[in-house]
């Protein structure tokens, strides 16, 4: 099938290899990948800060741009939740409500798409390392994705998955929260890093680069060896 890829703004600029990995994986599975360069952001930062009108201004472009897509894949649980769960909220009573709902129904987070839509768990990847997995909260609680990324990791050759303590607790990123209340965000991140470090893993994996940006920032400051990596980058090791 033809898959429309949505690459969130921060993945585009800060973590392009995540997007590139997704393209490689989807193409390996024999699908055609389509990417609309004019779609930059889903509008979540504005929405989470209470600026729903400004978020809608951004979202309208996304809804229009993906109108004809057969299926949309996004490598972020957080931005995926914005489109599936919160677009219907901000478009309530808006002329584009129907279009927003239709998009909400055809958008998939990357791991969800592989496991639930395509029924693929083994990509023939090989990644010789010990890893621990962090669920982004939006993916976990808005999109109900817990097992999908783990199923994919379990099929990676030579990879050992070790679960950390308090595995479902938030890393403390939270978008603008991270800079509006940096002391709380940092304390939460420190607790998360401590749990991840306790596992003795080489890599901290997540399906959300935003959590990893925050956690890697803390780890690098403390000069820890633990490295963060997006799920797609591991799966693209074939």
Partner 1 sequence: MSSIFESQFRASATKLTADLRHRSLIRKALKGYEKSRDEKKARFQDWEAARQAAAETKWEAINHLDKYLSEFADNLARRGAKVFWASTAEEARNYILNLAREKQAKTIIKSKTMTSEEIHLNEVLAKAGYEVVESDLGEFIVQLRDEAPYHLVFPAMHLTRNEISHLFHEKLGSPETDNPEELTMTVRRDMRIRYCKADIGISGANFAVAETGMIAITENEGNARLTTSLPKIHVALLGIEKVLPKLSDLALFLPMLATVGTGQQLTCYNSMIGGPRQPGETDGPEEFHVILLDNRRTHLLADAEQRDALHCIRCGACLNVCPIFRNVGGQTYGTTYQGPIGSVITPHLRGLRDWKHLSFASSLCGACTEACPVKIDLHHHLLQNRRNAVVLGTGKLDRIAFRGFAFLVNHPGVFGVAVKAGRLVQRLHRLIASSKIDPLRAWTASREAPVIAKESFRQYWKSRHK
Closest CA to 42 of 16, 93, 19, 76: 76
CB atoms within 10 A of CB 31: 16
Region at 74 (left for phi over 0; alpha for psi -120 to 50; beta for the rest): beta
Nearer to partner 1, 147 or 220 (CB): 220
The CB-of-229 to partner 1 minimum distance in angstroms stands at 14
Closest CA to 230 of 142, 145, 137, 136: 136
Residue selected from 31, 52, 88, 120 as contacting partner 1 according to rule CB under 8 A: 52
Contacts of 109 (CB under 8 A, 6+ apart): 73, 74, 75, 76, 77, 80, 139, 143, 145, 207
Nearer to partner 1, 61 or 155 (CB): 61
Nearer to partner 1, 122 or 163 (CB): 163
Residue selected from 55, 72, 74, 229 as contacting partner 1 according to rule CB under 8 A: 55
Task: Tell whether residue 43 is a contact of partner 1 (CB under 8 A).
Answer: yes
List binders of partner 1 among 161-220 (CB under 8 A): 168-189, 191, 213-214, 216-218, 220
The CB-of-119 to partner 1 minimum distance in angstroms stands at 27
What's the Cα-to-Cα distance from 231 to each of 17, 132, 139, rounded to whole Å? 11, 11, 13
Nearer to partner 1, 40 or 129 (CB): 40
Beta bridge partners of 204: 132, 228
39-47, 104-112, 118-126, 198-206 -> range binding partner 1 (CB under 8 A): 39-47
The CB-of-72 to partner 1 minimum distance in angstroms stands at 16
44-52, 99-107, 111-119, 148-156 -> range binding partner 1 (CB under 8 A): 44-52
Q: Is there a contact between 205 and 215 (Cβ–Cβ < 8 Å)? A: no
CA–CA gap between residue 70 and residue 49 (Å, rounded): 31
CA–CA gap between residue 39 and residue 41 (Å, rounded): 6
Residue selected from 14, 126, 128, 130 as contacting partner 1 according to rule CB under 8 A: 14
C-alpha dihedral (201, 207, 211, 213), degrees to nearest 10: 80
Residue selected from 74, 100, 123, 137 as contacting partner 1 according to rule CB under 8 A: 137
Nearer to partner 1, 156 or 205 (CB): 205
Which chain residues interact with partner 1 by CB under 8 A? 7, 9-17, 19-20, 35, 37-38, 40-41, 43, 45-52, 54-55, 57-58, 61, 86, 137-138, 140-142, 168-189, 191, 213-214, 216-218, 220-221
């Amino acid at each position: 099938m033809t898959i429309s890829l949505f690459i969130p703004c921060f993945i585009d600029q800060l973590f392009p290899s995540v997007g590139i990995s997704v393209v490689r994986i989807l193409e390996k599975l024999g699908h055609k990948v389509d990417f609309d360069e004019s779609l930059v952001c889903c509008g979540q930062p504005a929405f989470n800060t209470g600026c729903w009108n400004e978020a809608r201004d951004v979202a309208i472009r996304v809804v229009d741009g993906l109108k004809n897509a057969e299926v949309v894949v996004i490598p972020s649980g957080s931005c995926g939740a914005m489109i599936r769960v919160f677009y219907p909220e901000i478009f309530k009573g808006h002329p584009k409500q129907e279009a927003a709902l239709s998009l909400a129904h055809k958008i998939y987070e990357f791991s969800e798409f592989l496991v639930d839509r395509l029924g693929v768990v083994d990509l023939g990847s090989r990644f010789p390392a010990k890893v621990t997995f962090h669920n982004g909260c939006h993916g976990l609680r808005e999109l109900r994705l817990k097992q999908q990324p783990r199923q994919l990791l379990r099929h990676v050759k030579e990879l050992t998955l070790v679960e950390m303590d308090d595995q479902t607790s938030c890393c403390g990123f939270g978008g603008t929260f991270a800079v509006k209340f940096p002391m709380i965000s940092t304390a939460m991140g420190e607790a998360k890093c401590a749990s991840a470090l306790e596992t003795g893993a080489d890599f901290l994996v997540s399906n959300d680069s935003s959590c990893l940006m925050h956690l890697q920032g803390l780890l690098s400051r403390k000069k820890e060896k633990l490295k963060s990596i997006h799920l797609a980058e591991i799966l693209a090791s074939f």
